[in-house]
Structure 1
Amino acid sequence: MQLQFDSQFFMSIVFLGFAGLLCYLYTSFVEKPKRLRSKLMKQGINGPPPTILVGNILELKKARSDTSKPSSSSKIPSSHNCAALLLPLFDKWRNEYGQVFMFSLGTTQILCVNQPDIVREVTVCTSLDLGKPAYQLKQLGPLVGQGILTSNGTKWVRQRKIIAPELYMEKVKGIMNIISESAVSVVNLWSNRIEAEGGAADIKVDECMRNFSGNVISKACFGSNYAKSEEIFLKLTALQERLSWKNLFRRIPGTCYLPTKTNREIWRLEKEVKEMILQVVKERKETSFEKDLLQMVLENAMGSNLSKEAIGSFIVDNCKNIYLAGYETTAVTATWCLMLLASNPDWQDRVRAEVTEICRGGIPDFSMLGKMKQLGMVINEALRLYPPVTVMSREALEDMKFGELDAPKGLNIWVMVVSLHTNPDIWGDDAYKFKPERFANGTTGCCKLPHVYMPFGVGPRVCLGQNLAIVELKMIIALILSKFTFSLSPRYVHSPTLRLLIEPEHGVNILVKKL
């Protein structure tokens, strides 16, 4: 009798547990997304109907596969409408539902914002109630870090300790010799190839730019340990590829935890990167003091009141972010700059004349780079047409208000940077054209609404590494222009693709000759 009672009691507990689990899953995956969408619909905001669990992922996946074919257009692109090329479905939804619409990535509800007034409100917001999206921390955490959770009264907010920008800028000035030496090595390599190939060389610049920026970041960040950083960067590059837009199905709830082949590779790479960075840190602590970016990260970490585990996460996260901002972003932007200059010889001549006048045959220093206005205009225009960050994403950790928009807790907000950068209503009828002169008065006078120009983010959350990236870009492009003339190679096919950054799918080949 007692055994029968115990059995019935156990089955009741199992049944209640199963029922509770079902209720939790229903609330999380069905009721909560529906409630968020309902609150937006009451404000007149609509979007494509989602599928349970999957959301609009299948539509996005199909649209991506339709745009993954190589371009058959002219070798020299006359238009640079990346938004329409890479994100055509978003253009379709915007035309159908308006400048502010919603869609779903799995069960994550996203508000897509293209309305400049709301964009301003979101980008200048300093409240900790607007934080890194939970889905992004889950999906991209292996690459960009998980951040640090800190208690704030009765709630938890995602917060990352940030190194003071002025300290970072001082470090940039202190590594000018590393930047110039790395740029000179590229110039020497190209000179040798041109001589070996009879006066002209067809060079694929992508790898050269990655070697340049990788060499700078390796030596600037890891000092005497720079040789080990090459392997770290290779693993981070592999990790970036596996976390790119092409793996949209990882956005379906729970799939990032399944032991699939891709997930196992991500977990392995993340673990190896963490172990390697912490090993470099351990060796650094056992050796002498060095004036590099790693030392700055260590000092900021040790000066905090974080736990030992949190300090380790902080160091690893910052090293990952230095990689993404200072290495990959710089390399890709430099590649696009060279493509644009190769296809616009008039601007190539203008910038070369400026560089020649300022440098007079020498290697530019920090102050010289600051005087290169024409080069700065070209870089700004390249960042407008091919921005490193295509989407700026945030999550409302509490109910928030942006102008007339009520953003309920749990809502994700996407600012479509790539669309805003080429909106004809903001930039004019020539929005898809390469026209660096629009930045003649700096970024504040570039268009009707300059706050929508945000290649490195904007406001209080601007990218820490932008100053280093700009200095690197100016140095490598200035030296190349001072030594060579170049045009697009017949092998070049204009086919931008979206991974984590907008990259040339088949690379950029240019024909290079000595001046």
Structure 2
Amino acid sequence: METLSLLIIRTVCAMAVVAALSTLFRLYNSTWKSSERLRKRLNMQGIGGPPPSLLYGNVPEMQRIQTRAALDDKASACSRQRGGGEFVAHDYTSTLFPYFEQWRKEYGPVYTYSTGARQHLYINQPELVKELNQCFTLLGKPSYLTKRLAPMLGNGILRSNGPSWAQQRKIVAPEFFMDKVKGMVGLMGESAQQLLRSWDERIEAAAAEGGKAAADIRVDEDLREFSADVISRACFGSSYSKGKEIFSKLRSLQMIISKQSFLFGHNFFGFLPAKKSREVNNLEKEIESLIWKVIEERERECSDKDLMQMIMEGAVYSDQGLDKDLFRRQFIVDNCKNIYFAGHEATAVAASWCLMLLALHPEWQQRVREEVRRVFGGGNILDPESLTQLKTVTMVIQEALRLYPPAAFVSREALEDTKVGNIIVPKNVCIWTLIPTLHRDPDIWWPDANKFKPERFVDGVSKACKYPQAYIPFGLGPRLCLGRNFAMVQLKVVLSLIVSRYSFCLSPKYQHCPAYRMIVEPKHGVHLLIQKIQAGPGSLVTNIPSATL
């Protein structure tokens, strides 16, 4: 009996060892051998890169470089700005993404690196970036990246690939064509008026309390509310006050997800602790419930068609193993989440960077102010056709988007073996293009690439740099940001109103520290000292009556 028991124990142990070895072998194949095969295919084409470690690839090196950069550059990257007298370093890539910058210097603008199970191809060569435009059917959003963004974006247009993406684009894109956007200028002005009234009250309160001519205001949070109100009213027929809870919870979700190391893309990194994971799940459910409540209200109202109505009508059922009603609900909610987030967050951040740069450069404030007065006189600043005459405003926006593009990357995954220029990109390789590096390359933008010089855009993007395809603040190709017209018009409206009404400079509270939280935003906000301009003869009327809107 003892012999039989011992035999059984030995057999079980042997089976356990075999199972463990089998698991390790599969892990080895999935994390090392598959990545190694892809790397060799790229190496054979003359593409080099940092040597990877077993299993983890270049992740340990990325972490070491990031830690060292944080220690070395803390003082310069997060310098305190005092009254505009201290230089603000606009080149933040070596602090936020130091591994990409170090490898670019070592291996050139095209190199490959590994994050364990995944092989990546870094491309920052203008001609190859241009070629990426031609490969849209064979390139999609990286699956591992979109999986980690799923609680935030569902399977909406920002995450989906293939036929699902094409269907959603067909619904959403027409709502952001320029003729539609021009019709939204009035409500953009109405939303801006709420912002301006709030600032007026704070300036008056500062004067009453301490006799100060200027109020110290953190403008980025106010601009988020403004932008959220615009997207709510333009696309969903409701105001920011109605969707305030949605935006607040989306922001909370964004902050949690951005703490994951999803850029590293390794199976063993990026997972949240159990407590945070539960928090993400709860926020996701709460957001979906709030959005569905808004949808049900819209269905009862039967009002004029807006983007939400178009999404509701476009939720055509396709057999994906889901109940028909569940599919429709998920389709609508996911796309609403995408538009609620993407439609306001990036625009608000872009406006914040614009104001920061104008605060640093009062001479450009004055040039914008003079142009607005010249174009509109004392009349209706929100005439949609006249907005196209704001050349100086456009130049300032374009230069701000060059130095501080909200989206830091263009990321793609090869769905099949794909030719990009003279490179055959193997299936499953993820492609990365670092936008701020392209936007500051002195070989493309000349030696003053790190300086704020809106005049470089005086003759448009085509003459601003050596390779126009290297200017991609809204991405590139068919997946170019659908809301770019909407964002540009909104930025023109709010900046024109603010600069014509106020003068401002950086507050002593302002701390220049760009941070990557899914988009590049000011980590500590944008604090400005703002005061009202006294309207003189022939100047633009700053207290614009609502009738002109």
Structure-2-length-normalised TM-score: 0.84
Preserved contact between residue 111 and residue 411 of structure 1 (Cα < 8 Å): yes
1:356 pairs with 2:373: yes
1:174 pairs with 2:204: no
Hey, what does 1:134 align to over in structure 2? 143
Hey, what does 1:478 align to over in structure 2? 496
Q: How does 1:44-59 map to 2 (within 5 A)?
A: 44-59=46-61
Structure 1 residues 151 and 50: CA distance shift in structure 2, 3 A: closer
Preserved contact between residue 45 and residue 102 of structure 1 (Cα < 8 Å): yes
AA at the equivalent of 1:432: N
Q: Deviation of residue 241 (structure 1)?
A: 0.9
Alignment partners' CA distance in 2, 1:302 and 1:226 = 29
Preserved contact between residue 82 and residue 385 of structure 1 (Cα < 8 Å): no
Hey, what does 2:90 align to over in structure 1? 80
1:118 to 118, 128, 143: 128
Q: Deviation of residue 386 (structure 1)?
A: 0.3
Hey, what does 2:331 align to over in structure 1? 314
Preserved contact between residue 394 and residue 412 of structure 1 (Cα < 8 Å): yes
Where do 5+ consecutive residues of structure 2 fail to align? 208-212, 534-549
Preserved contact between residue 203 and residue 509 of structure 1 (Cα < 8 Å): yes
AA at the equivalent of 2:43: M
Hey, what does 2:201 align to over in structure 1? 192
Q: Deviation of residue 494 (structure 1)?
A: 1.7
Structure 1 residues 90 and 452: CA distance shift in structure 2, 3 A: same
Alignment partners' CA distance in 2, 1:21 and 1:325 = 41
Identity of aligned residues (%): 45
Alignment partners' CA distance in 2, 1:150 and 1:97 = 32
AA at the equivalent of 2:203: I
Preserved contact between residue 206 and residue 332 of structure 1 (Cα < 8 Å): yes
Q: Deviation of residue 385 (structure 1)?
A: 0.2
Hey, what does 1:236 align to over in structure 2? 250
Q: Deviation of residue 451 (structure 1)?
A: 0.6
Post-superposition CA distance 1:185-240 (Å, at most 9, x none): 11111112212212211111111111111111222233247544211111111111
Post-superposition CA distance 1:306-330 (Å, at most 9, x none): 8544433332332222133221101
Structure-1-length-normalised TM-score: 0.90
Alignment partners' CA distance in 2, 1:316 and 1:507 = 30
AA at the equivalent of 1:237: R
Structure 1 residues 102 and 177: CA distance shift in structure 2, 3 A: same
Q: How does 1:229-378 map to 2 (within 5 A)?
A: 229-244=243-258, 247-248=261-262, 251-253=265-267, 260-302=274-316, 308-361=325-378, 362-378=380-396
1:443 pairs with 2:461: yes
Number of paired residues?
Answer: 510
Alignment partners' CA distance in 2, 1:157 and 1:207 = 34
AA at the equivalent of 2:329: G
Q: How does 1:492-511 map to 2 (within 5 A)?
A: 492-511=510-529
Alignment partners' CA distance in 2, 1:344 and 1:303 = 53
Alignment partners' CA distance in 2, 1:285 and 1:157 = 24
Q: Deviation of residue 505 (structure 1)?
A: 1.5
Hey, what does 2:45 align to over in structure 1? 43
Preserved contact between residue 156 and residue 338 of structure 2 (Cα < 8 Å): no
Structure 1 residues 356 and 364: CA distance shift in structure 2, 3 A: same
Preserved contact between residue 396 and residue 409 of structure 1 (Cα < 8 Å): yes
Q: Deviation of residue 90 (structure 1)?
A: 1.4
1:433 pairs with 2:443: no
Hey, what does 1:392 align to over in structure 2? 410
Preserved contact between residue 81 and residue 508 of structure 2 (Cα < 8 Å): no
Q: How does 1:16-27 map to 2 (within 5 A)?
A: 21-27=23-29
Where do 5+ consecutive residues of structure 1 fail to align? none
| Worse-superposed segment, 168-177 or 318-327 | 168-177
Q: Deviation of residue 78 (structure 1)?
A: 5.2
Preserved contact between residue 57 and residue 248 of structure 1 (Cα < 8 Å): no
Hey, what does 1:161 align to over in structure 2? 168
Alignment partners' CA distance in 2, 1:15 and 1:226 = 60
| Worse-superposed segment, 162-171 or 444-453 | 162-171
Preserved contact between residue 139 and residue 251 of structure 1 (Cα < 8 Å): no
Alignment partners' CA distance in 2, 1:315 and 1:289 = 17
Structure 1 residues 442 and 394: CA distance shift in structure 2, 3 A: same
Alignment partners' CA distance in 1, 2:254 and 2:426 = 31
Post-superposition CA distance 1:439-492 (Å, at most 9, x none): 112222221000111101122111011111111111111001111111122222
Hey, what does 2:153 align to over in structure 1? 144
Alignment partners' CA distance in 2, 1:157 and 1:317 = 12
**Secondary structure of 1:491's aligned partner:** coil
1:205 pairs with 2:214: no
AA at the equivalent of 1:347: W
Post-superposition CA distance 1:59-101 (Å, at most 9, x none): 3334444438362365443542122332222111111111111
Q: Deviation of residue 176 (structure 1)?
A: 2.5
**Secondary structure of 1:161's aligned partner:** helix
Preserved contact between residue 330 and residue 473 of structure 1 (Cα < 8 Å): yes
Hey, what does 1:217 align to over in structure 2? 231
